[in-house]
A and B are shown apart, each in its own frame.
Chain A
Amino acid sequence: MAERGKGISGPAEGLERAPSTVDEDPIERIIRSLLDSFPSAIADFQKLRKGVLRARIERRDLFKACKYLRDGLGFEHISMISAIEYEDRFELVYHIASYQHRVFLELITTAPKDDPSVDSVSSIWGGANWQERESYDLMGIKFNNHPKLERILLPSDYLYHPLRKDFRG
């Protein structure tokens, strides 16, 4: 029998609000440190609503940026990975949330039509594993270094990626 979750004295332990040593809003701090770390990669920074940010990032810097987001900035939770097909490109939207700072980040990266592949972030967030498989299954995006990139919702011998616009049932 596995032992109980020892060492958790109360629900709030380790989850206090952002430390007040930084003088400004945690969101401002996140934006600044992200821009400092990836000046070339992060573009088009927007504050959409209260606590919702949007950023664009180059495909090759995605993994590094995600690692920095989790380890350096405390984005513990990957909420959603959505793949969108446009006429000239694929867009991958990573919705990443931070439990500490109450921030919701929309990280967008693009992949060209002829090479729809990005680095997998499932080694950073375990929750990304199945979502990447789903994106592969339905949209045909390849995720490099994914532990098990197989179809998940559709049968394994299915030939098409049905969410692509050229798919006709």
Chain B
Amino acid sequence: MAEMWINMGPQHPMTHGLWNLRIKVDGETITDAEPEVGYLHRGIEKLCEDRTYTQIIPITDRLCYGSSLTWSHLYCLTVEDLMGIEVPKRAEYIRVAAIEMQRIASHLMWLAAYGADLGLMAGFIYCMRDREVFIDILQALTGSRITYNFPRIGGVAHDVPSNFDRDALRACTYMERRLKEYEEMFDRSKVFMMRNEDVGVLRRTDAMNLGVTGPPLRGSGVRYDLRKDMPYSVYPEFEFEPATHPDCDCYARYRVRMDEMWQSCRIIRQAVQKMPKGKWRILAPRNAPEGTGVGRVEDPRGEGVMYVVGDGTDKPYRLKIRSPIFVTVSAAPKMLIGYKVADVVAIMGSLDMCIGETDR
């Protein structure tokens, strides 16, 4: 068969969103690849220049459907850096607990999509079912299921509801039991390992050079987790180990995310148990001073950075968002070339695409 270009997307079960992966195949072997993004560009950066600082928070929620809380948290961190606000301790603990729940929910959604990509329908349904547990707690905490609009500049919107700590600890126990089942279902399944091992190899040097961050980077053997290495919020007060794996393949990325879920359970337990009393929100000024603020967090998908320029009014002069997947997907050709068409779903699935933040 002659070589031909195949458009995988913009509407394709592999893409998890609206983007296009053009691959050149020789038979079933990929010889070239070219990701195309931009189908979901909503101009959020431009939109933010016309909104007040408070009004932007619900918009940053819309950056990523999988982990919207991280992005509004990142935005609030950035603006707090710009305004020079110290957030109350209790608010930081609530934020950390909520973000780690969001991380587990996001990773579960990734695992569900990954299972469906590889044809493991039971994995898809089970993960979506268990994600509900965390979504329900977040719903009781914030009032919404996907777009929480929960962090505020200078704290969080609400105090924790009654029974929050009991529910959170119960959910952690449930999740740890479930994770063991997943490990039995995924790791111990020979067919799953056949699809994952030695597939989508991304060397350590390549991963660092191409700007890959988050689980793909740690799956390539680089021990770099912003929560540990450049701590923000109250992460230094928690005990946890950033997950790494030296194998550089899809299985390593899968393993890193599973280990991160374990660590997130640990962090939630500590955050709930150590949560101090006090205020959860302070009055933030309406107008930001002139200057810049930068925030940097460990998103479930990688390193999220925001850079805000204030000009003394109540609206930001410029807001720049660094999406981890936007950079990671540019490394996709490096991983794809040489593998089979069927590996595309495994490789791109292991990157955990989220188009909302990629196209902004």
Contact = CB atoms under 8 A, between A and B. Distances in A.
A127 to B, nearest CB: 2
B123 to A, nearest CB: 24
Interface stretch (A9-17, A24-32, A34-42, A55-63): A9-17
A131 interface: yes
A77 B317 CA distance: 27
A5 B247 contact: yes
A8 B320 contact: no
A104 B204 CA distance: 20
**Band of interface residues on B:** 35 or more
Contacts of A152: 37-38
A139 to B, nearest CB: 10
B209 A76 contact: yes
B63 interface: no
Contact of A5 (B203, B210, B305): B203
B229 A93 contact: no
Contacts of A4: 198, 201, 247-249
Majority-rule SS of A interface residues: loop
Interface in A67-114: 76-80, 82, 84-85, 93, 95, 99, 102, 104, 106
B106 interface: no
Interface string A134-167: 1000100000000000001111000000110001
Contacts of B46: 162-163, 167, 169
Interface of B: 37-38, 41, 43, 45-46, 198, 201, 203-204, 206, 208-213, 218, 220-224, 229-230, 244-249, 294, 296, 303, 305, 307, 309, 317-318, 320, 322, 326-327, 330-331, 338-339, 359-360
12 contacts: A2-B338, A4-B198, A5-B247, A11-B244, A77-B213, A78-B211, A79-B305, A99-B229, A104-B296, A127-B331, A153-B38, A163-B46
